[in-house]
Amino acid sequence: MFTNLSPQLIIDGTLYTLLVFSVTTWTLIFFKIWQFIHNRHCNERFENAFWKLADLKEVKSLPPELAKGSQARLAYQGLTWLEEHQRSAGKMLKHRGDSTELLEQALRVQLQQEQHAMESGLTILASIGSTAPFVGLFGTVLGIMHAMHEITASGSTSLDVVAGPIGDALVATAVGIAVAVPAVLAYNFFLRRVKVQRTRLENFVASFLSVALDTKNEEA
């Protein structure tokens, strides 16, 4: 099947594929680093401002530069739901039931959306980390096959004839491993950061529910 293809063409094709994998990996790594740092910075600024507010309704009065990040979106979602619940209680099915449980469900949905945003790109990193060595091995195997055919055709088994083509073919495996290692390390690191971030958001959701319940009791 591959006997009519140039060995160098096969190795080059494999290396170009691995180059695309590498560029994709490092692009995702830099983007995810920026995403986590930016989100953490926004959450810290919002949380500091949020707990200094006198009333829950004052959340929407915060300056735009403070109303950023996943915690801000959770708070806005919760406040928007509370306002809609006050207007539509008893008029819409989605607002029938225990208001605290319904609010918690709305916040959980938003929390899942935030987690999906944090996990975006991790599947690609995991896929590259698991497939890059095999792509490199594929190029190596085909390269060695062609090298053996050339050695057989030349009728010479000297080290100079054998070492060159096989050495070139093995480069693909080395590059495949070199591409896979950063992808796997980055995937494990970012997966850990997602878990930490989710825990913090869950804590914020619990605190928001407590504040909302106290506000509800005061109004009652």
pLDDT tens by residue, 125-160:
999 999 999 998 888 887 777 777 766 776 666 656
The pLDDT of residue 36 is 94
Per-residue pLDDT tens over the stretch 189-199: 999 999 999 99
Q: What is the DSSP letter of 89?
A: T
209, 104 Cβ separation under 8 angstroms = yes
Calculate mean pLDDT across residues 70-96. 77
Nearest partner of 21 among 171, 13, 118, 37, judged by Cα: 13
Kindly report the pTM of this predicted structure. Answer: 0.81
pLDDT value for 1: 47
Q: Looking up tokens 């050339």, which residue turns up?
A: 150
Break the chain into its structural domains and give their ranges: 7-219
